[in-house]
Chain A
Amino acid sequence: MEKIIEQDIKAKLEELSKLVAPCLQCASCAAACPVFQTHFERNPRQVALRLARGDFSDVLADEAFWWCGSCYSCEAHCPQGVPLTHVFFELKRLAVEASKPVPKLIQKIGERLSEGFISPATPDVQEKRKKLDLPPVAKPDLQEIQKILDVSGLSQKLKS
């Protein structure tokens, strides 16, 4: 099983490598990235470079992609049209699929999806809403949501 997963991962990384191929290493993405602006070692340009060069083991081991805050600034500034934020999402999802550790808060939010909302609908919130003359929070069909989480495979991924 492990070998087959690895083949899939390699194939996906090669797909991502093709997406990053037009990169000129101009560093517009790095300059625009709010994460890189605070921490020089978290450099989106470097991730793009490693992918483009095929240094796949580095990319996965480094886990730098988890720092991405999904603001899309890199994509908006890239003169070559490289969809870098999308690449980061794919890398995160690959890590999840390969059962690699997921940052705590992201795992927590994922688990809360089955409750319908990712912020808890606690009694004090209901109170506050009443005080503000607001109707009670809508109740989504939790069974539907759970089913979707199960069928899509996210439930299993969160458990492992």
Chain B
Amino acid sequence: MKNPDEKYAIFWGCTIPLRLPWIEKAYRLVLPKLGIHMVDLPFSCCPDPLASKSLDHTAWLALAARNLSLAEEQNLNILSMCSGCFGTLKSAHEEIKNPEVKKEVNQILSQVNRKIKGSTDVLHIQQWLVENFDSISEKIIRPLQGSVASHTGCHYTRPSDILQTDDPVYPEQLDALCEMMGLEAVDYPDKNLCCGTGVGLTDRPAASGLIKRKVIGAYKAKAQALVAHCPSCILSYDSGQMMLLRKDKSIQPLPVFHLMELLGLAMGLDPDDLALGEHAVSVEEVLSRII
């Protein structure tokens, strides 16, 4: 459906509001400046495309459809702040296009007096940024400087035939957004390596290894910070990196920013307005160099 007035039902997911509220802070400061009207609805967990999807397909789809129906009731499209939620909701939206599937889902939803038509579309915030690239460039009043290593979340681009956002093996949108803000987005070894959140569900040490590879790769290309747009990835590279640094003294800490924080700074926000002190790996030093 069309989006008059850029009014969206904002999908926060679980990780942002309950694990990384400082990301939510950044969004709530920046989105209005971008002209987005935010509507908060009582969404639940999307449900997550890792654990929940591995347990039962019907439950996963029905819970996702419940969330979609909440937005549908208000005639709003969903703007997702989390890649995982985007992956789930968009996939569910596509699956429900099949009339047989829709019928089954509605049979379950009818038990809670809900129904889904399938008219609510799902967008990821990065998609919105890319679609409005030109108008956002005009809002950059404080160009940033320095080199960053960008990390695109797996569930933003894949499975690509359903999501259709960026190239599934070598995505470049996040780089373009960083360069719009004045930063140099470097090519670095293991650029397209998964953050390991999914892997960590069954093997924490392996996930830790993936974080280490990413940090080392970024350093090899002389990046000053990592940029990501997904809360699970940030959880891995921020808190996850902190835990890794405690055990492995050979690694130099690599600060991690959320795309929204950098965008906010580039659009003129005062660093004190953002909750930058909440990061597990300190961003203080690199901040002075990029602003």
Contact = CB atoms under 8 A, between A and B. Distances in A.
A71 interface: yes
A147 B111 contact: yes
Interface residues of B, number: 62
Contacts of B43: 138, 140
B33 interface: no
A141 B198 contact: no
Interface residues of A, number: 60
A103 B63 contact: no
> Counting chain B CB atoms within 10 Å of each CB, which of A75, A85, A132, A157 scores highest?
A132
A141 B109 CA distance: 13
Contacts of A113: 45, 47, 52, 59, 63
A39 interface: yes
B45 A153 contact: no
Contacts of B278: 132
A21 interface: no
A22 interface: no
B17 interface: yes
B197 interface: yes
Given A38-B206, A117-B44, A151-B108, A137 B51 contact: no
Interface of B: 12, 14-15, 17-19, 21-22, 24-25, 28, 40-45, 47-59, 62-63, 66, 108-109, 111-112, 114, 154-155, 157-160, 168-169, 193-194, 196-203, 206-207, 209-210, 275, 278
15 contacts: A68-B198, A69-B194, A69-B200, A70-B53, A70-B198, A96-B54, A109-B52, A113-B47, A113-B52, A125-B18, A132-B25, A132-B275, A133-B25, A144-B66, A147-B112
